[in-house]
Structure 1
């Protein structure tokens, strides 16, 4: 195991990694922008290094500063968290070139699976079901129009790089194709430095179901059950739960088999996620692979008893994962994660940065809160709006729902607007209570301004 690692991130994910390291006896190095100098993760780490001013492109995205901080402090490895440089193959390669272990997959895997178009082709070649889509990127409107006419509308324009819904546009009317194609390319270029897009036949009213995987250098490839991430706004996940209410045992096994097949086909190592769309007939299709740990990993930890961050560290250190002998995994109980963001759902989820004047998280049986926020913390306008993740676990979904309602009622955050009222409305919604949720849930069930 490593003696010391650097966490190339901020906020709750930096703190999450640091806590896993402390339990393993590994010292940690935090990096921070001037904006984050007084945050709790910076104080929690054994050492901390300032890497630049507030804007991410002058601090958390500056590879050279992060590499230098690791070398100066004697860190042996870098954990990228999620976001920022987590899926940047050049950063992973820079770590290796500087004799640092990148805690994640190889740069080659990141490149191959980070390009969604090539990832689709890889999945098709190994027998994982994929949505009907274009062969590679479409460089002109004319090519896009020709594909859309061939497969029929509606279609989905997707950026080949990145994620988070950026560079993604649904097209239901042929008259809208050109404007949406150009908008998707512009957004993708600005967000990812790559304006390549491809087209897929749009799967109507799907569920978003993903499978958590782990793979090590000893031939262990495991699927840690699935998560349902169908409650989304503009392709941004808001609520996740595990297991999915929609899956039969047969379908669960089939998804797990497909996910492991994808891992073996790419020679993947470390933690990752295979994301699927599940249609109304119960057919699932590969959507993309996330070559990192994800925001919603705690719900999987709760139902499998597995610390995914510790497993990442073990795998990166050249050790076998500790959970392989428990595969295949069956979900134990039910877990739900609610993302508490500094946003005002009553006004189109408008960002609400500011100072938290009171922060009192819920507690009690089956309640877990992951947050870097304390009373007096400042939610910065420079970074994402995530304040806390509320995770609940129950013996079954009914108990998890009851626990989530109780925990939301206990949660006190003052000084800023948050999405807590929105989550209370979702948990009172009949469709959500019944587990009948697709990716258009907010538009069709909640009546919120998008």
Structure 2
């Protein structure tokens, strides 16, 4: 029995935790486990077995080198967690991190899934229920269909109502797949057929909805954190406008173009929206900032994003530690009034890709690796000299996160870091990042989602 007015004692944290991911993700989660006194156990594929980042860690081999044989094999991962006596599993980001079936499977076998409840993940993973919930909570939406389109004819009718150009989008989509633009009535039927075919092949779900295409916008996202007791906070917004083929290249916080009134209004609405659906854990709400200065909700990612480090740098909050504590039944250690967002932070994702060959992935052996170091720089990586970049997965090598009192200072520190980074043996995307950061368009914020500032070089 607890004293009157006091809270019950916090439950114990997990003793052992399965890391259901690879590379820099596994390193990041393991670092948080170390800080909490939890033993991380790394699930690895045959391709990653023996990689330098696994040295000194407990590992369990899931299966073959391909993702379907390892990091996407739900039953193998849950079995590995059970056999290695892990009472919790962190999926990281990518792979199975947003799969409600996997979350439910973990819970059914007595393994705590570090993430939102399966029902919340399922609801937000489908675009039209997510939009309905967000509209009810007061967020602005992109004009479009009220739900799933029943036919090409309905798509044409909605397009006439909201105005061209329009975007046909997959209900279960992601990564730019299942999306087609129609700029006039004569293009709707073809766009509908193409989007439906791609969505069916990629997601086994050919259902589509329609939105007006907002051109010349900025991609903004809001970091949310919630516990199971109804407490929700935000860690500000990130600007992720610089993208290639819907894949983010550079992220920064705060957004240098978001009007202050729209920022404060939408941050508060995002917190209300997360609370209204009973969200638990870390999540990201993604928006488009239209040319009128209004943030319009697109979707919610029910996991940590690759770029969560940007929010951590400004707030001083370790999001992975908070995720683990919340999953163990603890209350958030912070309230909104405790969050102080300082300065400016920028992240560059460095991939093993050949920018002279249309960003072709470049697996191979890194013969020499040297990461820059500075008190104003964070480097998240799993790479060392001699590391073999496998051909089976995303080619991310490291993330550089530079901080400064101002945006200009953060940019200059990032340029210095990119210049100091040494990677020999495989080509990287460093040249494109340097071109972007040095371009007048990026420095003056004269860009949007339609192009990459400073690239290709003139």
TM-score, normalized by the shorter chain, greater than 0.5: yes
Preserved CA contact (<8 Å) 1:30 1:41: no
Matched, 1:40 2:52: yes
- Unpaired runs of 5+ residues, structure 2, are 1-12
CA-atom RMSD in angstroms: 1.6
CA spacing shift, 1:173–1:359, aligned 2, 3 Å: farther
Matched, 1:9 2:21: yes
Following TM superposition, by how much is the alpha carbon of 1:44 offset from its aligned partner in structure 2, in angstroms? Answer: 4.5
Preserved CA contact (<8 Å) 1:348 1:448: no
Counterparts of 2:252 and 2:167 in 1: how far apart (Å)?
Answer: 26
1:322 alignment counterpart: 333
Preserved CA contact (<8 Å) 1:31 1:42: no
Counterparts of 2:45 and 2:303 in 1: how far apart (Å)?
Answer: 23
Superposition pairs for residues 294-333 of structure 1, below 5 Å?
A: 294-324=305-335, 326-327=337-338, 329-333=339-343
Superposition pairs for residues 107-256 of structure 1, below 5 Å?
A: 107-256=118-267
Q: Which residue of 354, 359, 369 maps to 2:379? A: 369
Following TM superposition, by how much is the alpha carbon of 1:176 offset from its aligned partner in structure 2, in angstroms? Answer: 3.0
Preserved CA contact (<8 Å) 2:137 2:269: no
Following TM superposition, by how much is the alpha carbon of 1:293 offset from its aligned partner in structure 2, in angstroms? Answer: 0.5
1:24 alignment counterpart: 36
Counterparts of 2:441 and 2:166 in 1: how far apart (Å)?
Answer: 26
Preserved CA contact (<8 Å) 2:234 2:336: no
Preserved CA contact (<8 Å) 2:349 2:396: yes
1:122-168: CA deviation from partner (whole Å, max 9, x where unpaired):
11222211111112222433332232223221011212114222222
Q: Say which is worse superposed, 53-62 or 247-256, in terms of deviation.
A: 247-256
Q: Which residue of 105, 125, 142 maps to 1:94? A: 105
Superposition pairs for residues 273-284 of structure 1, below 5 Å?
A: 273-284=284-295
Preserved CA contact (<8 Å) 1:39 1:372: no
CA spacing shift, 1:224–1:147, aligned 2, 3 Å: same
Counterparts of 1:5 and 1:18 in 2: how far apart (Å)?
Answer: 9
Superposition pairs for residues 288-299 of structure 1, below 5 Å?
A: 288-299=299-310
Preserved CA contact (<8 Å) 1:10 1:41: no
Q: Which residue of 374, 386, 392 maps to 2:396? A: 386
Counterparts of 1:51 and 1:330 in 2: how far apart (Å)?
Answer: 41
Counterparts of 1:344 and 1:97 in 2: how far apart (Å)?
Answer: 44
The TM-score normalised by the length of structure 2 is 0.94
Counterparts of 1:330 and 1:176 in 2: how far apart (Å)?
Answer: 48
SS of the counterpart of 1:359?
strand
1:166-190: CA deviation from partner (whole Å, max 9, x where unpaired):
2222222433333332232233233
1:414-438: CA deviation from partner (whole Å, max 9, x where unpaired):
1111110000100111111113331
1:206-232: CA deviation from partner (whole Å, max 9, x where unpaired):
111111000112332101110000001
- Unpaired runs of 5+ residues, structure 1, are none
2:3 alignment counterpart: none
2:432 alignment counterpart: 422
2:4 alignment counterpart: none
SS of the counterpart of 1:208?
strand
Preserved CA contact (<8 Å) 1:213 1:271: yes
Following TM superposition, by how much is the alpha carbon of 1:355 offset from its aligned partner in structure 2, in angstroms? Answer: 1.3
Preserved CA contact (<8 Å) 1:356 1:376: yes
The TM-score normalised by the length of structure 1 is 0.96
1:446 alignment counterpart: 455
CA spacing shift, 1:445–1:423, aligned 2, 3 Å: closer
